[in-house]
Structure 1
Amino acid sequence: MASMTGFLSPMCNWAKIGLLLLVFTIVGCNTLKKVDDDELLLIKNTIYADDEKVSNDAVKSLILQKPNSNVLGYPLRLNLYNLAKENPDSSFQNWLHRKEKREKRLNKLLSKKQVNRLRESFFVKGASEFLKRIGEAPVTVDTLLAATSIERLEAYYDSKGYFNNSGTFEVVEQKRKKRAEIEYKIALEKPFLVDTIIKNITSPELDSIYQKNSKGALVKNGEQFDLNNFNSERERLTNLFRNTGVYNFQESSINYDILRDTLQIADDQLMDVKLNIQKPRSSNDADSASTYRIHRLKKINIYADYLIGGTTDSLKSIEHENYTIFYANKLRYKPKALTDAIFFEKDSIYRDLDRIRTYRQITNLNTFKYPNIEFVPDTAQAKLISNIYLAPRPKFSLSFDFDVTHSNIQRLGTAFSSSLITRNVFGGAETLSISARGAIGLLSDASLSDETFTSEIGGDINITFPRIWLPVKTKNIIPYYMLPQSRLLVGTNFQRNIGLDKQSFNTVLSYNWSPSASLKHNIELLNVEFIRNVNPDNFYNVYQNTFTNLDEIADEFQDDPQYASFFEDSGDNDDPLTLDIPDGANEFAQAVLNNEIPTTPEQFSEVNSIDERQRRLTENNLIFATNYTFTKSSKTDINDNSFYQLRVRLESAGNLLSLLEDVVPYNENDNDQLLVFGVPFSQYFKTELDFIRHWNVSNTSVLAFRSFLGLAVPYGNSESIPFLRSYFAGGSNDNRAWNAYELGPGSTRNINDFNEANLKIALNLEYRFPIAGDVKGALFADAGNIWNVFDNEDNPDAIFTDFTSLADIALGTGLGLRYDFTYFVFRLDIGFKTYNPAEEWSRRWFRGYNLRNAVFNIGINYPF
């Protein structure tokens, strides 16, 4: 989302006043206000195991009574709670009767009913309830809870093999008034070790499976007893049996017996363990057929038109590759499309893994609702009949979206989109999506454009195949359990805005697959994009910084009559003449480059740079690219706050076109560039590395880190990277102390309205912590910049030359507030320029570190 500096800057003074009032209010609170004289405020818990301090968060979480939370060492929520009145009703009554005739006058002025409502109002009662809700009551020392915590600690160390441990606690009063900490001390004694594992497996088939896979056991001879290892071993064995034919195996059938009196202390502290794998709970000891056995698939039935609660008696059926497909009236799906999604095979051993993969692949087809898979056993033969019930989704679905936006460019913007989805288009579970979108916005500043409104309209046709769509077979390389998909997209977009007004046409043929939930591959075999600038004459109106630089050079020649045709009346008394846009500016620049106007070498270089930039940003682009993206993440679920994520992307553009010189009709322009349909095609190689790492600092705080490195190198038919494929710095998801496109390149000072380059380094570090309820806080440091390298840029301040250029890395620090709406997070960040490479060496540190120069960014969800 765009930066909101211009919108929020009038609020800075009010923000300062509000911040000061909040600070004075909170600082003025008495932390011990609601701690009675016979109570002690708990400020710290310390755990010692054999006199060694314990820092393990899992152990600390066993303590029932924890000190009040704090924000950067300050008990904010406690003091918010202390601001609440203990009994607002009594306080209101005392105020009401403090003066003899006050209640009578209020009853006449407001009525008796309204006075009673005033008693329940936010200012009387609601404010206190709100403060109590978001605050925290003081946590005072409770010895009963401490004793229970000791029992939990003893149980924890029991689970780690210290069966003879014992614990005590001590309340240590602090020098500061009415404050104390609790010290928990555990004497561990010697741990017990596993000596021998004795098997007691009632099923011969299970015993055979166990023997073949015993090397992977997690409970081993000679290792210290650890209950977690026993639980993990139960899970391992359950997965093992359920993936080797025992479809109905229950984890509750596994238990362990410890064959030693753990209360007795001996020198060796060795213990024997008995592994019991028994019959199912529902089995009868006299019934030998009820023991666990290896099952095979006898028959696989697929119900393609299943209605929940309906009957299957009237369905027709066909046989396809040992599968029986049932359907109503007419089979709407190609049999292969259905059977390819099923990973069970006739006469094969049952595997739970195949069941999970079948669920995932059927869901991935986006044609059926979540499937129901049933297994009917034939216990006499140890066979299974699998019934797979598929309830079709609606053939068509239509959706509409509408958004209202605001930014520093648009005073008000509205966007709408509509999408029509058609499922099972060709009978192979293909999905066709036809979407249209449009937007209109009201400009916040009339000087940005001759137009008052911006507009955009576009549409896409997107078809997805649940397989790799290639003339060669890929099933052996990319099996269906990897959820392969092919996507063909054709789209167009028309923009009319403060820019050059663009038309774009794009076509994408891509493939993606996921070998596991944490790993994903995506290949865009073809990514063709054509961008046409409709209004190139508007360049100097849009890029006003560029125009100002050119106009300042032209000021030296505005009084010369022979150059009068380049200028027009500006209406400004201080600078009455300015270059005419576009003709005057273009003709002046061309005259300088043709040496028709005498300029200094520095001025000539500046005009040449401006002219190159204009040609680059106003020329049409044809990008014919291929790219590959690899993504890996260790994140297990939405609540996992300790994970890493790696994304690697490689992209190459123009190579295929250069190889098809005999097929594609080429022309050449004056710069010796090859043209396809009159447009020079882009040729470059681009690579990106994006790494994110999160650490749990505590149960509620997270440290998040991100590093990004991107490089795009033009060659062959290109001297620079297309604007759409280049890099920029700044903004709500990058370096938050600068607006988007404002930072760089290198040590240059915002030389253009939209600064971009082909090399980018970004490093972000953010500490996230709770404040009160759903309100979260953050402290962040953002470092990075963009540079030009291996292209036609000749400004040394913008070029990355060697490691000394790393001195141009900008540093922004700041703080943020977030509100968690469960489904998304609303974010406000305030960034301060801590180190600004655009300044002189002596002025780079902390020169813009104040609210006046701060950058306010609004965003949705976390930046990384």
Structure 2
Amino acid sequence: MRRVLTACGVAIAVVVMVACSPTRHVPDGSYLLDHVKIETSDKGVKPSDLKSYLRQEPNHRMFGLFRFSLGLYNLSGNDSTKWFNRWVRNAGTPPVIYDPMLMENSRLQMEKAMFNKGYMAARVEADTTSHGKRMDVVYRVQANEPHYIDDVNYQIGNDTLSRLIERRLSRHSLLKKGDNFDRNVLDEERQRISDILRRGGFYAFNKELITYTADTADRSKAVDLTLTIRPDSLVNTERYRPYERYYMHNIYFVLSYDPAAADRIDVSNAGMYKNYYFIEGEHPYIRRETLVENCFIRPGLLYSSRDVDNTYTAFGRLRIVKYVNIRFELAGQNEKGENLLDCYILLSEDKPQSVSLELEGTNSEGDLGFAVGATYEHRNIFKGSETFSTKVRGAYESLSGDLSGLINDRYTELGGEVGITYPKFLFPFLRTDFRRRMKASTEYSVNFNFQQRPEYTRVIWGTAWKYKWTTNRGFFRHNYDLLDINYVYLPHKTEGFLESIAPDNPLLRYSYEDHFIMRMGYTFYCSNLNPSNPVQRRTNVYTLRAAGEIAGNLLNAISHLTSKSQPEDGYTLFGIRYSQYAKFDFDYSITHIIDDRNSVAFHVGGGIGIPYGNSDILPFEKRYYSGGANSVRGWSVRTLGPGSYNGNNSVSEFINQCGDIRFDMNLEYRAKLFWKVELGAFIDAGNIWTIRNYEAQPGGQFRLNSFYKEIALAYGLGIRLDFSYFLLRFDLGMKAYNPAAGQEHWAIASQNFKRDSAFHFTVGYPF
């Protein structure tokens, strides 16, 4: 590993040195665009706001100093027939050659942007300075005094729209007196009004019907603004009336729609259910009830663009539906003179079933083994877009050598899982409207695993009943585990097995003893991340996760009611002492986007698990661990903590290096280098602690007056390969402060690579 890192360091140093001669491939008579700077005379106009209007920018500098990608390109020679030259040129970035035409275009674009922001007298000058074969460009923005909104008036001839816009919508108008006369804000106000009207029944309305008139006095910067709706006589046609509301008439579901077929749809043989019409063809692959429950557009109600969007979202959750399109057609007027619309929801079916197989082989010091797995999935098992899935896996490995005293002469594992997911909130006595609004799914699952090892035979069984739903237009996600049962049973084990592996360690014994967990949990997750929105990707991204779970309370209450007193060893179910605890977790992260190539990410998280009642200790699988690729990266996984506990052997001590309290804090700088390669530089802090003073974990208990001395520190560098759909991460962490007793605490003062380093390879960012 040391040789690999040394080689990487030498390679980076060579590229950096070459980057110090950036004009190597700049033709004679041309200039390398070295620096570009924007200066503004108004504090209200930030240079960063105008950077997007630059038509030419210098080569990217890593850490603001080294043009790494340009240096990589400069490693190439002039002979393009050699593969090495072609490779480094494709991986690197060619020098940006100064272009006076692009500079002038940038200047004009900035002036136009300033004009649109209300600075109509703004002037932008571009100055150039050459030194050798390099060119610096400075754009000086003279903003001058902006025009501002002095008054806002409305000129709306239609009485209905006048009442809506002037009396109701104007209260939340984006046009404020005293604000700059910003054309972008004017357009946003047009869109806001149009969206609200279309959500309120005005099907044919659009923002192009809204215009503005701006009036300014001579030599005055004050603008009297008039918002105008074009007169009825200029916009009404025989087909659409944009200033009138439309009501929904007939709603048709077309189940086997072919986009390549003719637009005309034959509705003469349509079936009917709950006032909806169905054109199902020869193969009605989905139940009518499911379609109605996921449709927010209802007969007799006002047209609403929000209902249309919600319907698209709801049908996008149905895995049997491959394609959905919603179309509207005029349907005349009713006896009240109200305008009517017919709605056609056009659907096409996806493949209902899929099967996948997995096969692997193993060789453990000459002992051969294999494993086979299969997964079957049906996306429409009961014709309601329910997803049924089943997984089976079997593994076998032969054993050689002395097998005396063992109960099995092989490793064998058989496992399976069966689950079904309903695309709705499945619970008795719930109204259809509630199920429609929740956009929820209900999951039921059962899993089983049978393991034969030389020393024991173990059976693991579990079942779960879960709900998942979203709110606030998908930005809030909720997971509610109504019931989650985990049962572990060891029917056979070698005589004295537990005493031989853990005579005095209750943590290790617990992993090989029978146990039963019946828990309930809730997880809340929110984020402003929207990968489908390219504009949003350039803004800061935050995520928040909070979770809580409890276990054993119901069983404990039943035990108290049915038993006179609690046994010394605790209450049992099926002869097994069940777990009782409460657990809470919190994580927050934010990524600050510096520019399109640089960002800084911060994460803080914590959690606590409290055993009580029928339990003296948390179940092993519910305890926290520290170290690893997503924690304090100066330590390997499960080698840090708890507290000042010193785990000398990562193999035998890992069972002790777990706790009931966790704390993590991370800061990471991320920079895009070239091609798919990114660089990460990070600082991590954190540790775990125990609630109680366990004999097997000396120094691990959380104490308010000393815990801060036991927070470990680490730093390091990482290389990431971003392939859009997934990211490979290689991180090298180094210990800076080691809280373990008997160890040199400030490791950074006398760094030892073998002792203080940890290498991590994983998929995805740490947070």
Aligned to 2:437, the other structure's residue is in SS state helix
The answer as to whether partners of 1:305 and 1:327 remain within 8 angstroms in 2 is yes
In 1, the alpha carbon distance for the partners of 2:634 and 2:368 equals: 24
In 2, the alpha carbon distance for the partners of 1:301 and 1:288 equals: 21
Equivalent residues in 2 for 1:179-578 (5 A)? 179-201=134-156, 203-211=158-166, 212-260=168-216, 266=219, 268-278=220-230, 290-304=241-255, 306=257, 309=261, 313=266, 316-328=269-281, 334-379=287-332, 381-394=338-351, 396-400=352-356, 402=358, 417-438=373-394, 456-473=413-430, 478-495=434-451, 502-515=458-471, 516-533=473-490
Does 2:670 align with 1:768?
Answer: yes
In 2, the alpha carbon distance for the partners of 1:651 and 1:791 equals: 23
TM-superposition CA deviations, 1:271-320 (whole Å, max 9, x none): 22332333799x77786964532100122222345555389659854433
The answer as to whether partners of 1:279 and 1:291 remain within 8 angstroms in 2 is no
Task: Describe the shift of the 1:167–1:828 C-alpha distance in structure 2 as closer, same or farther (beyond 3 A).
Answer: same
Q: How many residues align?
A: 742
| Equivalent AA in structure 2 for residue 611 of structure 1 | N
In 2, the alpha carbon distance for the partners of 1:688 and 1:840 equals: 31
Does 2:58 align with 1:160?
Answer: no
Does 2:680 align with 1:778?
Answer: yes
Aligned position for 2:52: 61
Aligned to 1:764, the other structure's residue is in SS state strand
Cα deviation for residue 767 of structure 1 reads 1.0
In 1, the alpha carbon distance for the partners of 2:715 and 2:231 equals: 63
User: Normalising by structure 2, what TM-score?
Assistant: 0.87
In 2, the alpha carbon distance for the partners of 1:407 and 1:65 equals: 57
User: Normalising by structure 1, what TM-score?
Assistant: 0.78
Aligned to 2:201, the other structure's residue is in SS state coil
Aligned position for 2:2: 12
Aligned position for 1:612: 506
2:660 to 758, 765, 779: 758
In 2, the alpha carbon distance for the partners of 1:315 and 1:291 equals: 30
Cα deviation for residue 16 of structure 1 reads 1.5
Aligned position for 2:616: 719
The answer as to whether partners of 2:693 and 2:701 remain within 8 angstroms in 1 is no
Cα deviation for residue 74 of structure 1 reads 1.1
Aligned to 1:58, the other structure's residue is in SS state helix
Aligned position for 1:734: 631
The answer as to whether partners of 1:714 and 1:790 remain within 8 angstroms in 2 is no
In 1, the alpha carbon distance for the partners of 2:455 and 2:685 equals: 29
Q: Computing the radius of gyration over CA atoms, which structure comes out larger, 1 or 2? A: 1
TM-superposition CA deviations, 1:178-205 (whole Å, max 9, x none): 5453221111111101233343446544
In 2, the alpha carbon distance for the partners of 1:409 and 1:502 equals: 24
Aligned position for 2:556: 658
In 2, the alpha carbon distance for the partners of 1:497 and 1:810 equals: 38
1:672 to 569, 579, 594: 569
In 1, the alpha carbon distance for the partners of 2:708 and 2:127 equals: 54
Cα deviation for residue 666 of structure 1 reads 11
In 2, the alpha carbon distance for the partners of 1:535 and 1:61 equals: 69
Task: Describe the shift of the 1:828–1:378 C-alpha distance in structure 2 as closer, same or farther (beyond 3 A).
Answer: same
TM-superposition CA deviations, 1:568-612 (whole Å, max 9, x none): xxxxxxxxxxxxx859847xx8xxxxxxxxxxxxxxxxx7xx332
Cα deviation for residue 530 of structure 1 reads 0.6
Q: Any stretches of 5+ residues in structure 2 without a counterpart?
A: none
Aligned to 1:859, the other structure's residue is in SS state strand
Aligned position for 1:558: none
TM-superposition CA deviations, 1:135-173 (whole Å, max 9, x none): 222334443332222211111111111001112122245
Equivalent residues in 2 for 1:621-700 (5 A)? 621-637=515-531, 640=537, 642-661=540-559, 671-700=568-597
CA-based RMSD of the aligned residues comes to 3.7
Aligned position for 2:77: 85
In 1, the alpha carbon distance for the partners of 2:760 and 2:364 equals: 11
Q: Which has the higher strand share?
A: 2
Aligned position for 1:832: 734
In 2, the alpha carbon distance for the partners of 1:407 and 1:273 equals: 80
The answer as to whether partners of 2:267 and 2:279 remain within 8 angstroms in 1 is no
TM-superposition CA deviations, 1:487-513 (whole Å, max 9, x none): 111111235679977432111111122
In 1, the alpha carbon distance for the partners of 2:146 and 2:642 equals: 62
In 2, the alpha carbon distance for the partners of 1:818 and 1:181 equals: 32
Cα deviation for residue 804 of structure 1 reads 1.6
Of 628-637 and 432-441, deviating more is 432-441
Aligned to 1:229, the other structure's residue is in SS state helix
In 1, the alpha carbon distance for the partners of 2:344 and 2:257 equals: 11
Higher relative contact order (CA 8 A, sep 6+): 1
Aligned residues with identical type, % of pairs: 26
Task: Describe the shift of the 1:828–1:254 C-alpha distance in structure 2 as closer, same or farther (beyond 3 A).
Answer: same
Q: Which has the higher helix share?
A: 1
The answer as to whether partners of 1:536 and 1:618 remain within 8 angstroms in 2 is no
TM-superposition CA deviations, 1:543-579 (whole Å, max 9, x none): xxxxxxxxxxxxxxxxxxxxxxxxxxxxxxxxxxxxx
Does 2:61 align with 1:70?
Answer: yes
Q: Any stretches of 5+ residues in structure 1 without a counterpart?
A: 1-10, 90-119, 539-580, 590-606
In 2, the alpha carbon distance for the partners of 1:21 and 1:452 equals: 51
